[in-house]
Structure 1
């Protein structure tokens, strides 16, 4: 273009493109909350979107592009997976919702068919990528993505209980009148009904809650702290009743995982990862345990000192996942 040639003088070869590219698969409510969180927090300045709904995808791309002066970012999108090439992280939010009366196994099978198209294409164009699965049921679909990808298990991560833990810390902090950042407590296991609240090691400001109230989180606790775990499990349902879907918190959660990976931070997140042989689990499943995240995904998983009850509940959670996974057909 003549105008461009007159406006600028070339001073050398073109600089290499951004090396921290992130792809978000799915431009629904969760996908766009994830993309926006990544861009607004400056986690990556190179984001690609992909979705089967090309019109929606193009609209979301243009809407973000029109705000690029405020984001200092490059946003691309397209129907072909080549647009995702050289992504350091690929975040999968696409998936089918559960039908009324549908079994969990049937939902998993339908979403497995969806991942059969998505995962191999992502790995084809970004063979060194780290996959973050957000689609539900997240633990089982993370296992499916690992099977389909051929990637090391350390490079396939589910968002898992990262958000559940955020909700847990928020509820504890709200009750005590402190910031969630001052609370250190985890939800582990399944992202769902069989999740486990780890009350035995929960601390606030460095003080272990069970040193103050030995029954905290148990059925015999007169203060009924146990209800906070139920609030965590019911949290998504409560939001869905009010606004029809959840998106902002899970988008922020996925972005926080991506940040820890790209920054090579070695930060610990309760994410869904391969846990066979850890904490007494003998099933080949992906469940949430506190794991250290860096440039290559999961580098290590914390060996939690669980109470007997928590250990039992975690094993039940793993067995529930294994039972459903046994029926998945590839």
Structure 2
């Protein structure tokens, strides 16, 4: 693998992504960039000293110019929400950081595929799309990849079946207005309701799925992890590295990533997550999924939440 991946931001998420990439065969070159040079040097040394158990990989702490010829750039920069700080205040702070980063990194790596991870990720993806000047296919927000992973984890535990057999998704924003389109939730080829009935007929000791409880599990997981350990970074790192794997693969895959909407489901000029065809050329387009009228309205409501925030920030 000869891919070069640059990560902007050496906080918990950025450094964990760098470490996870260093243990996989996705990249042969990893560049970590952060304003805190000492933190970068420490992370690089720590990660590099654990790579003797794999094929050689180059890991450096660099400047923006070191991102030249990157295949993928991952942006994780931003600050966490402080006590008493409103969501709008946090959003504007992180937007301002992104506005400083964008011209520097785009100048160095204009042909890279960009993965936006910084929160609020849908707003940040929208802002980057508007100010970067890059084609939209090169811009991919991590979106509800993590939410979808949390959903599949919860469904796997409930039904006692491998996560790889579960095809269910979280749509909308990466936030409280996200929702699960249960119309398209399947375990292998069977809808989850059919699967439940099949398992009951086979004598399985299994309870009927509480959809509201499962939605709450997805919504509250992040907050619970933060309350218990201070931050979330392992699962999002795994999700982003899987996305990197998709971007260097030989064919496209379908994922719930955030990208600009252009009239799909009656939604325009906002970034959020639906089924998206993504691969070595970035985003190829949206994949329509059959949804009920109620589910489409939930998606539109999620879009409105994001648009209301966008209307209050300074681009």
Tell whether the 8 Å contact from 2:22 to 2:47 is kept in structure 1 after alignment.
no
TM-aligned CA deviation for residue 265 of structure 1: 2.8
Alignment-derived partner of residue 8 in structure 1: none
TM-aligned CA deviation for residue 183 of structure 1: 0.6
Distance 2:24 2:246 in 1: 13
Alignment-derived partner of residue 19 in structure 2: 36
Alignment-derived partner of residue 204 in structure 2: none
Alignment-derived partner of residue 33 in structure 2: 50
Alignment-derived partner of residue 293 in structure 1: 278
Q: Which runs of 4+ in 1 moved over 4 A?
A: 211-214
The unaligned stretches of length 5 or more in structure 1 are 1-17, 215-220
Alignment-derived partner of residue 113 in structure 2: 130
1:259-274 pair list within 5 angstroms: 259-274=245-260
Residues 185, 222 of structure 1: CA spacing in aligned structure 2 closer, same or farther, 3 A cutoff? closer
What is the CA deviation profile of residues 2-43 of structure 1, one whole-angstrom value per residue up to 9, with x for unaligned ones?
A: xxxxxxxxxxxxxxxx85100011111111111122221211
Pick the aligned partner of 1:77 from 57, 61, 71.
61
Alignment-derived partner of residue 323 in structure 1: 308
Distance 1:325 1:317 in 2: 13
What is the CA deviation profile of residues 258-299 of structure 1, one whole-angstrom value per residue up to 9, with x for unaligned ones?
A: 110111430111000111311221x30000011111122100
Alignment-derived partner of residue 112 in structure 1: 95
Alignment-derived partner of residue 227 in structure 1: 213
1:250-265 pair list within 5 angstroms: 250-265=236-251
Q: Number of residue pairs matched?
A: 305
Tell whether the 8 Å contact from 2:144 to 2:170 is kept in structure 1 after alignment.
yes
What is the CA deviation profile of residues 127-150 of structure 1, one whole-angstrom value per residue up to 9, with x for unaligned ones?
A: 101110111100000111112211
Tell whether the 8 Å contact from 1:200 to 1:210 is kept in structure 2 after alignment.
no
- TM-score (norm. length: structure 2): 0.93
1:243 aligns with 2:229: yes
Distance 2:38 2:162 in 1: 42
In terms of mean alpha carbon deviation, does 18-27 or 131-140 score higher?
Answer: 18-27
Tell whether the 8 Å contact from 2:2 to 2:27 is kept in structure 1 after alignment.
no
In terms of mean alpha carbon deviation, does 58-67 or 284-293 score higher?
Answer: 58-67
**C-alpha RMSD of the superposition:** 1.7
Alignment-derived partner of residue 11 in structure 1: none
Pick the aligned partner of 2:175 from 183, 186, 192.
192
TM-aligned CA deviation for residue 254 of structure 1: 0.6
1:210-221 pair list within 5 angstroms: 210-211=193-194
The unaligned stretches of length 5 or more in structure 2 are 198-206
